[in-house]
Chains A and B, each alone.
Chain A
Amino acid sequence: MGVQYIGMDQLPLNCSGRIININMDNLLKRKLTDMGMIKGTEFKVEGQAPLGDPIRINLRGYNLAIRKSDAKNILVERI
C-alpha cells in the first residue's frame, strides 16, 4: 500500500499534512485557493475549539479556523 489520503478533519492535533485535493463547490474552493490552500500546500493542525470543532490550522504563516464538516472535504496526506 502506498500513502494513505485522509480528510483534513482526521489529522490528529500537532500533525502536519499536505493538501491533495479540495472537494468543494467552486465558490468555497476558490476562497480557499485564494487564501493559499492549493494542492501541495503544507499545513499543521495546531488546535481545536473547546468543543472540538472547528479546528485551527497553520498554513503559509497564518492561522485559519475551519469547521470539521468543511475540513473533511479536503483530502490530505500526512507528512
Chain B
Amino acid sequence: MSDRTIYSINYLAQIDVTYIERVGELSKDYTIALVGNPNCGKTSLFNMLTGSKQHVGNWPGVTVERKEGSTSYHGKNIKVIDLPGTYTFSACSEDEIIAVNYILKEKPDAVINVIDSGNLERNLYLTLQLLEMNSRVVIALNMADEAEKRKIFIDKEKLSEALSTPVVPTIATKNSGIQDLLTMSINYEHSAGGLLKLDYGQVVKGESSKIVQVLLDKGLAATETANLVAIKLLEGDQYFIDSVKLKENPDLNDMVKAGRQRISDETGFDPEIYLADKRYEFIVHLIEECVHKDNTNTDDLTEKIDKIVTNKWLGLPLFFAIMFLLYQITMGFGNDFLGGYVDSGFVALGEYLSRVMVNSPELLRSFVIDAMIGGVGSVLVFVPLMLTMYFMISFLEDSGYMARAAYVMDKLMNAVGLHGKTAVSMIISSGCNVTGIMSTRTLDTKKDRMIGILISPFVSCSARLPVYALFSGVFFGDQQFGILTVSGIVFFSLYLLGIIVAVIAGKVLSKTLFKGEKSYFIMELPPYRIPTLKSTLIHMWEKTESFIRKAGTIIFGLVVIIWLLSIMPMGVEPGSADSILGKIGSIMAPLLRPAGFGSWEAAVALIVGVGAKEAIVATFGMVYGAGEEVQLASAIQMYFTPLTAYAFMVMTLLYAPCAASLGVIRRETNSTKWALFALFYSLLIGWTAAVLVYQAGRLFGFQ
C-alpha cells in the first residue's frame, strides 16, 4: 500500500487517494462502467476491452441500447457496461437518466470516464459531474495520438492531482494504454465519501448547507451524498427531485425554491446556468494549468475535408453520389451477388429435402419445406444485404460523415417539415425499412423521431424488388422507351413515388398530429477519423444480429401462421380457394376491385405480403398452382393487364409496413397504438393510390 500526495488547487476540497492491490479480493461480478461524451472513442475502447465477448440489448422500458461485455484481469472475469454517450448528466434525456441511474443505483465497482484529449474543455464538464456523483473514477485520456499530432500537451500528473483521480492516456484504436487503464480501474480506490466538492461560491454554499441539514434530518440522503443531492436540487435536476420525492416534502420544497430564488437574485443567472458556468470556469482554469498548446491551429485535415464535403456546390451532389453508391453496392454486391448464393442455397436445400422426404407424410413435408425452409429462408436472404449495408453505414458513421450528411441535407428536409437526419434514415430504409426505422433513434425530439418512424415504410425497400421484377418482367420486359428500358422507368417511378409519398406524409404529419411540437438541429460535427476494421465489423454484426432477432422472429412466426391458414381446413388443396386463406382472400377481393385486381388470389398475396413483402411472389406461385417461373409468368399475364400490374405494384409499395416493420414501430414508439396507426394509415394511402392509378389509367384508355 502506498500513499500519494495530493495537491489541491484552491477550488477543491482535498480528497485522499489510496492504492490497494485488490486482485485477491475481486468479487465474482466486478463491474466497470464506461461513460463519456459522444465521439470520444468510447465504443472503440469498449471493443478493445471486451473483444467479441459482448452482448447488446435494451435498457428496460426504453429503446436505448444496452451494451455489456466482459474482459479478464489476472484470470478473473470483469463485467464491462457501456453506458450511453452523453454530454451531461442533467437527466433531461433518456440516455442521461439511464447513465445517472446506473451510476447511482447499480453502483458499479469502478467507472471509466473516456475523454477526447483534443476536446478537453467540453469533455471535462461531464467528468466534473461524474466526480460529484461517484468516487471510483478513472479517466481515460483517449485519442492521445491525435492530441500529440495536434501538439496539445496535457500534464496528466497535474490533471490527476487536481481532480484527485487517476488519469491514463489511451489510444483506443491502437489498443494502447488499455491494460494500464484496466489495472488502474481495479486497483485504485478513493477513500470513502470522497466525492468531489466544487466550490460554487458563497450563495450556493449557504443554500446547499441548509438543504443538506434537512436532508440528513429527514433521512432523505446519506451523509456522503447529501451535498450532491442538495446541489442537484438547487440545479432543478428532475432525477433528484423525484428520488427525494420533493413534492411530498413541502418544507424542503419551499427551501429549495427559496434557495433557487436567492441564487438567481444574487448572481443574475438561473441556478442551473450559474452552476454550469461555474463548472466551465473551473475547467478553463484547470486547462490553463494542465494543458499546453503549441499552435493555435485546430484540425487541418477535418478543415480540408469539410471544405469539400460541405462545399456550396459540391456538398449536395456528393451526398447523393455517396448514397447512390451505398445503395448500388448494397443491392449489387449484397443483395444480388451474396444474397443470390443464400437464395439458391435454400432452393437447393428445399429440393433436396423434398427428394429425401418423398415418403414422409404430405403434411410434415409441407411443413418442413414450405414453412420452415420458407420461413428461415425469407429471413436469411436478407442477411447479406444487411451485412453489406451496415458495413458501409458503420464506416460512414464512425468516420464522421453521417453528421455532415444530416448537416448538408437539413435545409432541404426542413422545407417539408423534416429533419436532416431523416434523410439518412430514408436512405437506409431503401435497403430495409426495419433498419431505417431503427436508425431514427439518433433523432433528438419526439416529433422528428415519430415522423421519421412513420414515413420510413413508404420508402421502397429491397423486399419489394422481387414483386417489381416479376410484374415488369412479364409486362414491360423487352420494351424500350428511347434509350431507356420501360422496366427501368417502372422501377424508378416506384422509388420516386415512395419518396414523394413519404415526404408528403411527413409534411402532413408535421402540420397535423405533431403540429406545434418543436424540432431543432443542434449537433456536434466531430473531427473526421479513420474507423478501425475491428470496430466497423463489430458494429456491422451487432446491427445485423439485432435485425435477425427482431425481424427474424416476426417474419418466421408469420410465415408459419400463413402456412397453417393455407392448409386448413384439413384435406383441402393447399393454398386453394377453399382453404381458410383463400376464403379470407375471397372476402377481401371486392375491396380491391376499384384498383383493378379484385381476385381472391391477389388479395391472398397481399395479405401474405403484410407478413413479408418478398413472399408475395411465392404466394402467387402457390395460388396459381404454378411451380415454374414460366408458368407463373403466363398465369400473371392471364390475370393482369399492364395497367392493373402497375396498380398492383403501387399497392405493394405503399399498402402496409411489413410485419417486421410493424413490430419495430411498436417497439420503438413503445406503443401498439402507433403501430396500428401506421398500418391503417398506409393501408388507406396505398389503396387510394392504387385506385387512383387504375381509374386514371382507364380514363386514358388503358385496360
Residues of A within 8 A of B (CB): 25, 27-36, 38-41, 47-54, 56, 58, 60-67, 70
Q: How large is the interface on B (under 10, 10 to 19, 20 to 34, 35 or more residues)?
A: 35 or more
Known pairs A30-B90, A31-B92, A34-B87; A61 contacts B119 (CB<8 A):
yes
**CB-CB under 8 A for A36 and B410, given A56-B310, A64-B523, A64-B525:** no
Q: Mark B395-436, 1 if CB is under 8 A from A, else 0.
A: 000000001000110111010000010000000000000000
Residues of chain B at the chain A interface (Cβ within 8 Å): 87-88, 90, 92, 118-122, 125, 269, 272-273, 276-277, 280, 298, 302, 306, 310-316, 403, 407-408, 410-412, 414, 420, 518, 520-526
Query: When the two chains form the complex, which single residue of B280, B311, B403, B522 contacts A36, counting CB atoms closer than 8 Å?
Result: B280
**Do A56 and B525 contact each other (CB < 8 Å), given the known contacts A31-B92, A39-B273?**
yes
CB neighbours of A33 from chain B (8 A): 272-273, 276-277
Q: How near does chain B come to A32, taking the closest CB pair, in angstroms?
A: 7
Contact B277 A65 (CB under 8 A): no
Pull 15 A–B residue pairs with CB atoms less than 8 Å apart, ordered by A.
Answer: A28-B522, A30-B92, A31-B522, A33-B273, A33-B277, A36-B125, A50-B313, A50-B408, A53-B414, A61-B122, A61-B298, A63-B525, A64-B524, A65-B522, A70-B522
The answer to whether A56 and B407 have CB atoms under 8 Å apart is yes
Measured between beta carbons, the chain B residues less than 8 angstroms from A40 are 277
Q: How far is it, in angstroms, between the C-alpha of A44 and the C-alpha of B522 when the chains are bound?
A: 16
Q: Which of B277, B280, B407, B408 has the most CB of A within 10 A?
A: B407
- 20 additional A-B residue pairs with CB within 8 Å, beyond A31-B87, A39-B273: A31-B92, A31-B522, A36-B125, A39-B277, A49-B315, A50-B310, A51-B412, A53-B411, A56-B310, A60-B121, A61-B121, A61-B122, A63-B524, A64-B522, A65-B403, A65-B524, A66-B521, A66-B522, A67-B520, A70-B522
- Chain A residues whose CB sits within 8 angstroms of the CB of B306 once the complex forms: 47, 56
Q: Decide if A39 touches B407 in the complex (CB within 8 Å).
A: no
Known: A36-B280, A58-B298. A67 touches B525 (CB 8 A): no
The 10 closest A-B pairs by CB, nearest first: A50-B315, A34-B88, A51-B411, A67-B521, A63-B525, A60-B121, A33-B276, A53-B411, A65-B407, A65-B523
**When the two chains form the complex, which single residue of B90, B122, B276, B407 contacts A49, counting CB atoms closer than 8 Å?**
B407
* Contacting pair A39 B313 (CB below 8 A): no
List, in ascending order, chain A residues with CB within 8 A of B314's CB. 50
- Taken together as a complex, chains A and B put the C-alpha atoms of A28 and B445 apart, in Å, by 11
Q: Which residues of A contact B407 (CB under 8 A)?
A: 49, 54, 56, 65
Shortest beta-carbon distance from A14 to chain B in Å: 13
Q: Which residues of A contact B522 (CB under 8 A)?
A: 28, 31-32, 35, 64-67, 70
